Amino acid sequence: MNFPLALTGLFWLGAILLSLGLARRAALWRQGRAAQVAWSGLFAIPKRYFVDLHHVVARDPFIARAHVAVAGGAVAVLALAAANYGLMLYLPALDVLMLLAAGLMFAGAMLVRSRRKSPPARLSKGAWNRLPRSLTLFAIGAGLAALLAISGDALGSAARLLALLALAGLTLGGAELALGIGLGGPMKHAVAGLLHLAFHPRQERFSGNKRSTDLKPLDLDSNEFGVEKPADFAWNRLLSFDACVQCGKCEAACPAYAAGQPLNPKKLIQDMVTGLASGDGQGYAGNPHPGQALRGGDAQQPILGGLLAEDTLWACTTCRACVQECPMLIEHVDTVVSLRRHVTLTRGTVPNKGAEALANLRDTDTVGGYPLAARYHWAVDLNVPVLLPGEHADWLLLAGEGAFDMRYQRALRALVQVLKAANLKVAVLGEAEPDCGDLARRLGDEATFQQLAGKMMSTLRHYSFDHIVTPDPHLFHCLANEYPALGGNYRIQHHSQLIAELLAKQQIPLRADAETSTITYHDPCYLGRYNGEIDAPRQVFKGIGIKVVEMERSGMKSRCCGWGGGASFTDIPGERRIPDMRMDDIRATGASQVAVACPNCTAMLEGVVGERAEVVELAELVAARLAKA
Amino acid sequence: MSIQNLKVAVLLAPATHPVSGRPCAAAADSAALALALKLVPSPQHLLVLYAGDADDAALGPYLAQGVSCINVLPTLAGAEISRVLARQLQDVDLVLCGRRAGGGQGSAMLPYLLAEELEAPLLPDALQLQVGNGQVEVEQYLPKGQRRQLAAALPAVVSVHERASAPLPYAHARLLQGQIRHLSPVSLQPGVVHLEPASRRARPLVAASRASGHERMLGAIATDGAKAGGVVVKQGDPVEKAQVLLTYLRDHHLVDF
Ligand code: SF4
Ligand code: SF4
């Protein structure tokens, strides 16, 4: 037997199997709807892999190194094999390189193996446990093959045995690589992952520093009502689900999962994979949605009821902790909201207080069903002018729904005090201010969102102002990131950003004798992860002489308070409450006060019973340190 | 007549939202719709009527709640709505409507006038409803948690209490699919409607007890010094304490599990 020729044969066999497998999987993706992506994305893969994806993976240096070694080694081996054996060059120099690459891959495979010895609970087992073995076999096979080729006849009769071993290793290990995509094995992630980088549904994620966190509008007039069955997803969304490596980083970050609510974001993505491949879902070997059995699905059958329980969908707080952590850049929140949209728009069965809140928004433009005229009652003695059409204000303050909450009214009053102390010309809209539509949108009620957004934009058109300031990160996110797609562009700042600027310019007169104190700070998801703003609040604290002890999960890794996405309205039961867990995080710092910068975080944390840290709003802290006028 | 070819009609009218004053679905009318939808195999089998001149948009909430087609009867100025409606309801077996208007132009008199016009029995304030053997059975709402069973031969008019059903889910897609059909104006002898302000004399409230609020609260809640209405549970672990609460709630029929 001619050994190099056997290698050539093996290489081409693998290549053919891989191509057939890819065609098979691509047929599943193509069940999905058309998507607007450019093929040129394919050329961007290397940059996106080495910059964007590696940026996330590198947060876990061990696995990052292991992956670089295994994947880098494997790609090098394959490339060299393609050249040397696929194209039948048979150059000894390439064999030497192949030996080195195989060695690298072997080292990486050993690292992966050691991680699998006592794997963290978030990792999936099952087929994934066999992966280090397959990789090791392939590396050994490739190494032996290279060695044989280099040594020529020097090995004599042992060569025959070694050749057989090499071929066995390459065949067994290579099968994992070649068949993975076609049979849906673990190595599917390599092919699907790379293609996902090329055809990512949010291409803007890769362009510079721009965050891409806005939900995309539905065209309701052409009957776009979200996703009912797997085949309703765009094809590149289906592809994105296949990229998942079941690392469980999302699971470990998910507040709903930690609270024992029936949602595990990793399983959610795997459910979509089961659906797109019309499988029975029994092969899944990771943690389930708490309290839920494994279910099968079909690409043409409704997802809810079959594949997924409705409670799973409504437990999500849209906090984006999962998206933040996912090394494969999968968009869980888009998935959740697409499914919610279909339920809300075609059936309206939003659980618990969700439906009532939506009805209130439709009927009164407020979440709580309040009269609009009451929105600024808290400001009655503060002399804040209500802006009239034709007048001008430098700063327009939008208070949002927090204005109806008696606790948060204290914060709003403090904010007005601070802005006045800084001599800003601030005005409000009074009863002309509708809701921004955030809650409606997260609950999937795109129709009500678009109505409210339209109302807000046409209202704002009537007034003349330079900037908008709001203490509500949800309102901030809507106006800053989601209204532009509907044609509204505003200069808007979160109050923490404005106060930080004013402090930097020393425009806020502070008491000289203010006591220094220590607090901890809870980052709101919609300010931090949605807008990347984790510095401004901290600058404010620094500027007023307050020291912040950070929680373990803070900044971009902050844990949700449990309100987001309407989760406090849909109120899916779990074993714990999310705000209670967050209060435990706060307790762990030992701080006696926790600063918040969002009306909803305020309400959730104030709702925690028992001994706990005092909840204070950022503006209240500043107001307490104002110099007496 | 079998339940399959039962002809059911629902009368709906837009209400005025108590906070914003915007048109919205009336709670009682929605409840009537909810009961009617349970009687028919699909929404297409319902005859849904509205008599009045509200905007089509004001009827939208009912479409979103699951009506496939609302038939609008324009009324000539002053025409009596009950007569306009009765004309369309001649061969209907069961007419459902809300027991009271949610503001707007509706009136709680309608069920009575309509029943009179149709010469059919009226079963007011229904919470539940069953049809069989040519008759309709109704569980009627009475104050203070009391209920009464009523039955009448079909055809009949049933006015439905707003508590008969939880609010129907609102779905935008159904709003887009639903139709509003305008029937040709009905010419009838115009009756004369007199609008006059309701007169209501203030009735002084008589307190049931002369004790102060604080005293009455003390009488109602448990204290250690016995003599009050409750029990203080200090012994036992939280589960046992919860059990006492649960037993209390069950004894008073406040929970049923
Ligand atoms: S979705 Fe992302 S973070 Fe979650 S398991 Fe899959 S790859 Fe890991
Ligand atoms: S957005 Fe937050 S709550 Fe929703 S799945 Fe992701 S981590 Fe969990």
Helical axes A188-198 vs A235-242, angle rounded to 10°? 140
Q: Which residue's CA lies nearest to atom 2 of ligand 1?
A: A326
Q: How many CA atoms within 13 Å lie on the side-chain side of B42?
A: 3
Cβ neighbours of A420 (radius 10 Å)? 16
Structure tokens at A37: 């992506």
Probe residue for ligand 2, chosen from A311, A313, A317, A558 as the CB with the greatest number of ligand atoms within 8 Å: A317
CA distance A520 to A588: 10
- Note whether A452 and A562 are same-domain residues: no
Q: How far apart are the first and last CA of chain A?
A: 96
Q: Is the pLDDT of residue B226 over 60?
A: no
- Note whether A235 and A288 are same-domain residues: yes
Residues of B in contact with A448 (CB under 8 A): 172
Expressed as residue numbers, the domain containing A335 is 203-347
- Domain boundaries, given as residue ranges, for chain B: 8-182, 213-251
CATH number, position A540: 3.40.50
At residue A309, the pLDDT reads: 95
Is the omega angle on the peptide bond into residue B155 within 30 degrees of 0, that is, cis? yes
Q: How far apart are the first and last CA of chain B?
A: 38
In eight-state DSSP terms, residue A384 is P
Closest approach of B239 to chain A, Cα-based (Å): 16
Residue that is last in its domain, among A199, A229, A259 = A199
- Note whether A30 and A124 are same-domain residues: yes
CA distance B143 to B141: 7
* Least confident range of A89-93, A158-162, A527-531: A158-162
**Residue A409 in domain:** yes
* Least confident range of A12-16, A108-112, A300-304, B182-186: B182-186
Q: Which pLDDT tens digit goes with each residue over A283-341?
A: 999 999 999 999 999 999 999 989 999 999 999 999 999 999 999 999 999 999 999 99
* Least confident range of A239-243, A316-320, A513-517: A513-517
Residues of A in contact with B63 (CB under 8 A): none
In eight-state DSSP terms, residue B80 is -
CA distance A533 to A496: 9
CA distance A244 to A9: 32
- Short-list A180, A173, A185, A108, CA closest to A140: A173
Q: Which pLDDT tens digit goes with each residue over B88-133?
A: 898 899 999 999 877 766 678 889 999 999 999 999 999 999 998 8
Closest approach of A473 to chain B, Cα-based (Å): 26
- Short-list A382, A426, A628, A413, CA closest to A509: A628
Residue A304 dihedral angles phi and psi, to the nearest 5°: -80, 140
Higher pLDDT, B54 or B192: B54
Cβ neighbours of A93 (radius 10 Å)? 10
Q: Which pLDDT tens digit goes with each residue over A555-596?
A: 999 999 999 999 999 999 999 999 999 999 999 999 999 999
The pLDDT of A161-182, averaged and rounded, is 89
Structure tokens at A422: 């800084």
Number of separate helices (H) and strands (E) present in chain B: 7, 11
The mean of the pLDDT values for chain A is 93
**Residue A358 in domain:** no
CATH number, position A221: 1.10.1060
- Short-list A564, A566, A557, CA closest to A585: A557
- Note whether A326 and A188 are same-domain residues: no
The ipTM estimated for the assembled molecules is 0.88
**Residue A485 in domain:** yes
- Note whether A195 and A61 are same-domain residues: yes
Q: Which of A346, A365, A372 sits opposite B173 (nearest CB)?
A: A346
Q: Which residues contact A114 (CB under 8 A, 6 or more apart)?
A: none
**Residue A354 in domain:** no
- Note whether A438 and A500 are same-domain residues: yes
- Note whether A182 and A253 are same-domain residues: no
Q: Which of A220, A359, A363 sits opposite B172 (nearest CB)?
A: A220
At residue B38, the pLDDT reads: 92
At residue B189, the pLDDT reads: 47
Element (H, E) at B179: strand B179-182
In eight-state DSSP terms, residue A555 is G
- Note whether A172 and A28 are same-domain residues: yes
**Residue A242 in domain:** yes
Residue that is last in its domain, among A504, A530, A561 = A504
At residue A91, the pLDDT reads: 86
CA distance A101 to A71: 10
Is any atom of ligand 1 closer than 6 Å to the C-beta of A263? no
- Note whether A191 and A207 are same-domain residues: no
List the 266-325 stretch of A: residues with Cβ below 8 A of B: none
A232 CA → ligand 1 middle, Å: 22
- Note whether A367 and A339 are same-domain residues: no
**Residue A447 in domain:** yes
Task: Identify each DSSP E strand in A580-623 by its residue range.
Answer: 593-596, 614-617
A192 CA → ligand 2 middle, Å: 23
At residue A291, the pLDDT reads: 93
Q: Which atom of ligand 2 is nearest to the CA of A254?
A: 7
**Residue A51 in domain:** yes
Contact predicate B100/B13, CB 8 Å: no
Cβ-in-10-Å burial (0-12, 13-18, 19+) of B120 comes to buried
Q: Is the pLDDT of residue A521 over 90?
A: yes
CA distance A562 to A560: 5
Q: Is the CATH number of domain B8-182 3.40.50.620?
A: yes
How many separate domains does chain A show?
4
Q: Is the pLDDT of residue A148 over 70?
A: yes
How big is the A-B interface in CB pairs under 8 Å? 55
Q: Which amino acid is at B68?
A: S
The stretches of A118-227 forming alpha helices (DSSP H) are 127-151, 158-183, 188-198
CA distance A443 to A368: 15
CA distance A554 to A162: 54
- Note whether A401 and A299 are same-domain residues: no
Helical axes A599-606 vs A578-589, angle rounded to 10°? 90
- Note whether A212 and A195 are same-domain residues: no
Structure tokens at A22: 């890819």
* Least confident range of A199-208, A439-448, A615-624: A199-208
